[in-house]
Amino acid sequence: MNHLLSRETPHWIAYQKTFDQEDPRPLSFQKTANKFIRDIVSKFDHNSRKNGLLFGQVQSGKTTHTFSIIAATADADPGFSTFVYLTSNSVPLVEQTFGDGTERLNQTFEVCGPSDELRFSKNKFRPSLVVLHKEARTLKKWVEILANDERISRGPIFIVDDEGDAATPNTKVNTPSDKSTINDWVRELRNLGTGSIFLQVTATPQALFLQSLESSERPEFIHYFDPGSSYLGGEFYFGSNSGGQATHRPIAEDDLDVLLRSNAASTGITSAVAFYVCVVAYFMKTGRTNANCLIHPHVSQGSHNQVKTVVEKLVQELTSQSITDIRKIELNVALDDLNSSADVQLPADDFWEIHSRGIEINVRIMNAGNKVPESEYRADYNILIGANAIGRGVAIPHLQVVYYTRRAKTPQADTFWQHSRIFGYDRDRRLVRIFMPPTIFRLFQVLQDSNTRLIELIKSGNHEILQISLPKGFSPTRSNIVKKTRYRFIVGDVNYFPPLPNQSNGAALDVTFHEFGERHTGPVSMDIVKKAIKLASEPVDWKSQSFINAIDEKLSKPEAILILRSAEISSTGSMLSPGDLQYGKTITDKIVLTAYKVDGGKMGWSEAKPFWMINIKLPGSLIYHEVE
């Protein structure tokens, strides 16, 4: 049987027809779907429990690719009659996904929302797509509904876990025999039917990759799809080799603090809003009726209210017919900036003529306490103010301007990267701007480099151990979903030594260190460094390969200093003499390998014979995460 998409695939053809004929994206969707059908669905036996990941970049079209996979699966294997699409516990997000599903799949699927149990139960002939948010009562209700459905009892179930790294992983993974509520209900859902395919979808898979191999959330297979050529993502905005940095407008590090203290428009917020006013005028002239600006100041809802008051007043002053001279100057500066990159110039006379006719801009708070229907920012010109509610999964159309000042004491890489709402396809690349302090911009640049390396590793097909490279001060994800006994975190400028040293390494390392005599301080080859690390202790106690992986993955041209002593030592916290400990601290850009030949008998060790005590310190810039 030919499982690939053809003219005899009615569900996928109906899905494809919901796009304009000139839209090139269905070709990419078809490629993703064909690969999934060929690699997974065609080999599925209806009795297995398969778990995988669909990985794409932030706002690169993961939902539409997923719908393509759903339609193609229904065509390739009619045994799949029920598809469940899980979204984050966000009303705007579940409404957005339900709306997209209805628009794209309703011709041949019965698309149901959280309250559509009657519609689901009455449907006996078409495949069902049930869109649910990850909320305990909703999941409990639908597990019971699905468990009692005749079609579920006779065939497999297909579950999509959108933003699968966000709410599903077990937050009690380090508590024996316990599971978090959402994780438990999703497991129940996955166990329905004669078998199941569980497809996690995310642009930030760090939490999933840091699950141990025994975890049911760790993907067994990974499908990555490249974004289309018109996609504006991390490389465009933050890439070190692109011209995208021209979109960044640096603002003062304390710009938001100034606004909150004075309760008046700061320099940075004024520049951002003035530029957005010019974008709105440009769109009005060119007949475009929707453009959005995002202000992501701080996580606290109190700050959102204060910022909204300031921005509303600022918008009124910038669009007033009786505009002051200082506001005119600010708009002219912004107009010059816009014309510096616009495809077609907006002359000052034209701008002020549009301004005189009136520019209307809505200012809305979008957070947990203020729900904004998707329809309200898919039309007109809007400034959205918020934080978490306008992060993960929420697509903001025609987002042209972002003001971003959010900070965190210990930022999580996956959370920060999901804040990149300006990524996407429908932005005017000539007129996008990010107003952001330089320190935060540099953090996003480092995250972009890390994301690029992660994509390269996934595309290479090497999925056994996925390393995550991050800057110091960043954690890859929430610590409460990572099993501590399987997770290794290595950081530079820290002295590591084995708690149970290898007391039988004396002869082998005597040969290795012979050329250095009884005392040496100076350069040493990486071959010797790696051999010493391997012989320092048994792998089960020392995890020597993790140190070697960190060196190979993080250091392009590693150099090392050897501190070798053949003498009895006094115990310190790092098993180093005070002098050697202090000397090692002065070396921050090289590996420091310290090797002491000690007499086990005199020090009270069990085997009572000479052996080498090894200590390793990696460069201060290094930070490395790995899961077994």
**What CATH number is attached to the domain comprising 163?**
3.40.50.300
Does 474 fall in a domain? Answer: no
Structure-token pair, residue 488: 């290794």
In a domain, 469, yes or no: no
Q: Give pLDDT, residue 1.
A: 40
Q: Which domain holds residue 297?
A: 234-449
Buried b (16+ CB within 10 A) or exposed e, 222-249: bbbbebeeebbbbbbbbbeeeebeebbb
Residues 428 and 535 reside in one and the same domain: no
Q: Which of 311, 318, 398, 313 is nearest to 355 (CA)?
A: 318
pLDDT tens for each residue of 500-545: 888 899 999 999 999 999 899 999 999 999 999 999 988 766 778 8
Which of 224, 250, 268 is where one domain is finished?
A: 224
Query: For the chain, what's the residue count?
Result: 628
Amino acid in position 254: D
Residues 99, 194, single domain; the answer is yes
How does pLDDT run across 288-300, given as a tens digit for each residue?
999 999 999 988 8
pTM recorded for the entire structure: 0.76
**Which domain CATH number covers 310?**
3.40.50
pLDDT at 596: 92
Domain match, 439 and 492 both = no
591-599 β-sheet, strand order: 495-496, 610-617, 591-599, 560-565, 519-524
Phi, psi of 544 (to 5 degrees): -60, -35
Q: Which H/E stretch holds residue 375?
A: helix 374-377
- The predicted pLDDT at position 326 comes to 97
Q: What letter represents residue 57's amino acid?
A: Q
Q: Is the dihedral of CA 212, 218, 221, 223 positive or negative?
A: negative
Residues 36 and 142 in one domain: yes
What radius of gyration do the chain's Cα atoms show?
Answer: 29
H-helix or E-strand containing 130?
A: strand 128-133
Shared domain check, 254 and 373: yes
Helix (H) or strand (E) holding 270: helix 267-285
Beta bridge partners of 161: 86, 200
pLDDT under 70: residue ranges of the chain: 1-8, 240-245, 462-473, 483-487, 540-541, 567-574, 601-604, 606, 623, 625-628
> Residue 357, exposed/middle/buried by CB under 10 A (0-12, 13-18, 19+)?
exposed
Among 81, 112, 354, CA closest to 196: 81
Separation of alpha carbons 209 and 52, rounded Å = 11
* 331, 389: one domain: yes
Spatial CA neighbour of 167 closest among 181, 178, 156: 181
Residues 57, 36 share a domain: yes
Q: Where are the alpha helices (DSSP H) in 484-628?
A: 506-513, 526-535, 539-542, 544-554, 578-585, 600-603
Token pair belonging to 566: 């053949």
Q: Are residues 68 and 206 in the same domain?
A: yes
Q: What is the largest CA-CA distance in the chain?
A: 92
Looking at the 3D structure of the chain, how many domains does it have? 3
Distances 203 to 187, 405, 496 between C-alpha atoms, Å: 22, 22, 34
Same domain, 97 and 116: yes
Please count the other Cβ atoms lying within 10 Å of the Cβ belonging to residue 34: 18
What token pair was written down for 156?
């497999």
Quote the CA–CA distance of 163 and 414 in Å, as a whole number. 11
**Per DSSP, what are the bridge partners of residue 495?**
617
Q: Does one domain contain both 538 and 391?
A: no
Q: What is the pLDDT of residue 143?
A: 97
Residue 458 falls inside a structural domain: no
